[in-house]
A = this chain, B = another copy of it.
Amino acid sequence: MDRTHTSTYPGTRFPGMGTRALQPTCAQCRKALSEGGTGSGHCVYMEQVVTHRRRVKQGAVLYNGGDPFTGLLYVRSGFFKTCVGAKDGREQVTGFHMTGDILGVEGISGGKLTTNAVALEDSEVWVLSFDLIEQFSRECSSLRIYLLETIGHEVVRMQNLTLMLGSLRADERVAVFLTNLLEKLKSRGLSQSEVLLRMSRDEIGSFLGIRQETVSRLLRSFCEERILQVDNRHIKVLNSALLQQMATSQTAMH
């Protein structure tokens, strides 16, 4: 069933990471480094808590709801969706996640993961041992705070998602979706005006609480208004000002 490819490296620590700093995984450290800092913050600790890395093929499951929580999952590369499933089979996409994101946060409470995570492209994930994080966070306040901020950030993200699902019209939702996605790409130094969507219309719809047909129609209507240029999953933004305007009211949802 689960076609994930798990390649555990010898030992529990990630190899060849003794003194070298990681590619900073967070904005703070990137900034600190670029300002001549030593990177002696949580990132250095983070290398120490990586137990192994997993390669996850497109379409494969990273984890399922109900799986025991053993640690956080750092998306090293690739793209994921996370869903919560209802008992009756209905599913709701709760987020799309890319390089630099941390998955599995919800498992910290209750010891069980509550979402499913599926790779939407071939990906690599670093598994961070929660026990080790716990242990190190005792001595490293920077790591402790990073951990809290990561979870806190997830709370804020879900709040904004809630605001969208609870009070926006379908067209506004699509605009918000695109705006946020572009924003996120921008923050990683990518495109900004062009995207190759990694998810299907159906998955977008599930995320936005609307049907795939509605997503499709709205994308077309955005085309007609010369806001977008859509070719299947390839999207080009022609009028980003107007797009952002349609996504009024909303704040980030990364």
Contact = CB atoms under 8 A, between A and B. Distances in A.
A109 B161 contact: no
Interface string A201-231: 0000011110000000000000000000000
9 contacts: A94-B159, A108-B148, A134-B145, A138-B141, A138-B144, A151-B155, A158-B158, A166-B208, A167-B209
Report whether over half of chain A's contact residues are helix, strand or loop; otherwise say mixed. Answer: helix
Interface in A152-173: 152-156, 158-163, 165-167
A2 interface: no
By size class, the interface of chain A is: 35 or more
Interface in A101-124: 105-110, 114-115
A166 B109 contact: no
Contact of A155 (B87, B155, B167, B208): B155
Interface in A77-111: 84, 86-88, 90-92, 94, 105-110
Interface of A: 84, 86-88, 90-92, 94, 105-110, 114-115, 134, 137-138, 141, 144-145, 147-156, 158-163, 165-167, 206-209, 248-250
